[in-house]
Structure 1
Amino acid sequence: MRRPVLAFLADQQRWEAWRAPVLAALAERGIKAELRFGAETPEEVDYILYAPTAARVDFSTFTRARAVLNLWAGVEGIVTDPSLTQPLCRMVDTSLVTGMVEYVTGHVLRHHLGMDRHVLGQDGIWRGREVPPLAADRSVGVLGLGELGAACAGALASLGFRVTGWSRRCRSLAGITCLDGTAGLDALVSQAEILVLLLPLTPATEGLIGAGVLARARPGVVLINPGRGGLIEDSALIAALDEGRVGHATLDAFREEPLPPEHPFWHHSKVTVTPHIAAATRPETAARVLAENIRRGEAGEPFLHLVDRAAGY
């Protein structure tokens, strides 16, 4: 029986990090496959393991390929590619979810407790009367209730926060007030004291957090964006920070990465920049997701985490 051929389309550094975990995950499932770096003969490839940082790929040359398996959760860099006709699967991995929950929970608690005043403000002033409210008295909004957003909303609710979530499609989650539509978005941003952005980047969400939404937001809102940089209109956010309508922005994703040294986010006193570390894909666990989809493809079973090409995620 012919062994399936896997083409790893990413940079050399990722190849070195992923090669052994992918081979180990395949072996765990008894899959004998040939794993190649690059694709000099695309017509021989059965599965494409793809990182969005790879060079431009003409997917139409992969005439045998049964699926493109994305190494990251985000697919905005590939989903609109006209040469892509194969099924596209995004990465959904427990470590990715856990990392995002830890990042979001940590920064929500940081802002909720006002920790910056104490950690950064060692100025000899005793601020004993500045006691934060309890979580039950704090409103947190989560935009995006997919795999990551739902997990983060649930973790925050378990700590006692009053959590409201919004998604383009109506959802129902235990312990979370779920809203959708334009009216739901307006209601959420008008009352949330801390706003977490975990929406996918699609034509419908591009620049969603712009002047209009920020004008309707609760004064002094804290914005946390570990999702996609394109969700925010940078100039509108800077203006809202300068005017005091936004109290602080903690940003992990940006329109251009790495964020250029001259970008105003680096130099604004009300902005915290983190270098896209909220939810890294970890090869040791994510390789098992890839291997399972390859097993499914070989067995003629439905793929996991298929992307809805029309919706963009």
Structure 2
Amino acid sequence: MATVLMASHQDPVDLWRGALAQEMPELEFRAYPDVGDRDEIDYALVYWPPHGLIASLPNVKAVLSIAAGCDHILADPELPPHLPIVRMVDDYLAAMMAEYAIYGVLHFHRNMHFYRHEQLRSHWNRSWPLYTPETTVGILGLGAIGGDCARKLGALDFQVHGWSRSEKSMPGVTCYHDVDGLLAMAAQCRYLVCVLPLTAKTQGIINKDLINAMPKGGIIINIARGGHQVDEDILNALDSGHLGGVFLDVFNEEPLPSDHPYWLHDKVLITPHVAGELIPRSCAKSVAANIRRIEANEPVPNLFDKIRGY
């Protein structure tokens, strides 16, 4: 019988306990800080685990991420370098992220920011919408989440472009890659949606170069990681009028400080990192399947690649 230790400061432990019991009744479940005998822990299921916790588990076989990204695990300076890290890939997570991306695009596309502003002033004014089939949305990142965003936005009749670090092909999507492709794509896009993994090469990718490549009045939607965005560059572009607005679910510092200029900026829509919540009843299927693969010495999909950084 395998034993898993869950360590997360924000995920619902009881829901995870119940979901894993349903998917894998033979699995023993423990929740930090009630670790018990550390020699008995086979798997660490974590989100921002305390530094040194994983290193203190001498027999742990793998680290299972409770997030699409792995930056919260890699932040531990004591993380044993040999341990495999399994990324969370879940169909429902991708669907939730796509919902949020679509909402962000439609919020600005149908001028909800304008109507909210007018409502607060008791003004009955109209703003003429753009023609959707001639409006381009660019997706930064074409993995499972980005691919779902692209397909669903395409189904709404947007022109969809997509960028990834390596060359890709996707039906109905005009694909770009590499640095030159990034700026070339941005130049075509009214909306940019970021769903990239955070790596050394994507850190600060939403910067003045990318923003200035966009047409005036463009909109940026970041539902990936706060480290992707350069706040000063975004604020400068908003104040100059080059950016028409931003929808930010993630930030360089979370919670976002109460005195941050984003809060009161009339072109900024803020949500508290909730675009893609991991629902235990869905994600437990993936976790249980991967534990069974490891126990059976079978190949595990979605392993974190240290060279690629995701």
Deviation at 1:70, TM superposition (A): 0.7
Deviation at 1:44, TM superposition (A): 1.9
The range that moved more, 170-179 or 90-99, is 90-99
Deviation at 1:93, TM superposition (A): 1.0
**In the superposition, relative to structure 1, how do residues 221 and 12 fare at CA in structure 2: closer, same or farther (>3 Å)?**
closer
SS of corresponding position for 2:103:
helix
Is 1:170 paired with 2:167? Answer: yes
SS of corresponding position for 1:267:
coil
SS of corresponding position for 1:255:
coil
**Root-mean-square deviation over aligned CA pairs:** 1.7
The range that moved more, 13-22 or 89-98, is 13-22
Alignment of 1:95-134 (within 5 A): 95-122=92-119, 123-127=122-126, 130-134=127-131
Distance in 1 between residues matched to 2:212 and 2:10, nearest whole Å = 45
Is 1:17 paired with 2:15? Answer: yes
Q: Which amino acid aligns with 2:124?
A: I
Alignment of 1:40-51 (within 5 A): 40-51=36-47
Q: Which amino acid aligns with 2:276?
A: A
Distance in 2 between residues matched to 1:49 and 1:204, nearest whole Å = 26
Deviation at 1:126, TM superposition (A): 4.2
Cα shift readout 1:255-310 (whole Å, capped 9, x = no counterpart): 11111111111011110101111111111111111111111112221123111112
SS of corresponding position for 2:187:
helix
Cα shift readout 1:192-248 (whole Å, capped 9, x = no counterpart): 111111111111011111122222222111011111111000111111111111110
**In the superposition, relative to structure 1, how do residues 12 and 102 fare at CA in structure 2: closer, same or farther (>3 Å)?**
closer
Which of 181, 185, 191 is equivalent to 1:184?
181
Q: How many residues align?
A: 304
Distance in 2 between residues matched to 1:17 and 1:261, nearest whole Å = 31
Q: Contact 2:189/2:218 (CA < 8 Å) preserved in 1?
A: yes
Aligned twin of 1:237 = 234
Is 1:77 paired with 2:76? Answer: no
Return the TM-score normalized by structure 2.
0.93
SS of corresponding position for 2:73:
coil
Is 1:137 paired with 2:134? Answer: yes
**In the superposition, relative to structure 1, how do residues 13 and 50 fare at CA in structure 2: closer, same or farther (>3 Å)?**
closer
Aligned twin of 2:57 = 62
Deviation at 1:80, TM superposition (A): 5.9
Q: Contact 1:219/1:246 (CA < 8 Å) preserved in 2?
A: yes
Distance in 2 between residues matched to 1:268 and 1:280, nearest whole Å = 26
Alignment of 1:287-298 (within 5 A): 287-298=284-295
SS of corresponding position for 1:224:
strand
Deviation at 1:58, TM superposition (A): 4.3
* Relative contact order higher in (CA < 8 Å, ≥ 6 apart): 1
Is 1:36 paired with 2:35? Answer: no
Aligned twin of 2:204 = 207
Return the TM-score normalized by structure 1.
0.92
Alignment of 1:154-165 (within 5 A): 154-165=151-162
Structure 1, unmatched stretches of 5+, are: none
SS of corresponding position for 1:23:
helix
Structure 2, unmatched stretches of 5+, are: none
Distance in 1 between residues matched to 2:64 and 2:203, nearest whole Å = 24
The range that moved more, 107-116 or 72-81, is 72-81
Cα shift readout 1:135-181 (whole Å, capped 9, x = no counterpart): 11101111111111111011111111111100001111000000001
Deviation at 1:74, TM superposition (A): 1.5
Q: Which amino acid aligns with 2:71?
A: E
Q: Contact 2:118/2:125 (CA < 8 Å) preserved in 1?
A: no
Distance in 2 between residues matched to 1:12 and 1:239, nearest whole Å = 33
**How many percent identity over aligned positions?**
37
Q: Contact 1:79/1:309 (CA < 8 Å) preserved in 2?
A: no
Distance in 1 between residues matched to 2:72 and 2:275, nearest whole Å = 19
Distance in 1 between residues matched to 2:264 and 2:125, nearest whole Å = 28
Deviation at 1:95, TM superposition (A): 1.5
Aligned twin of 2:250 = 253
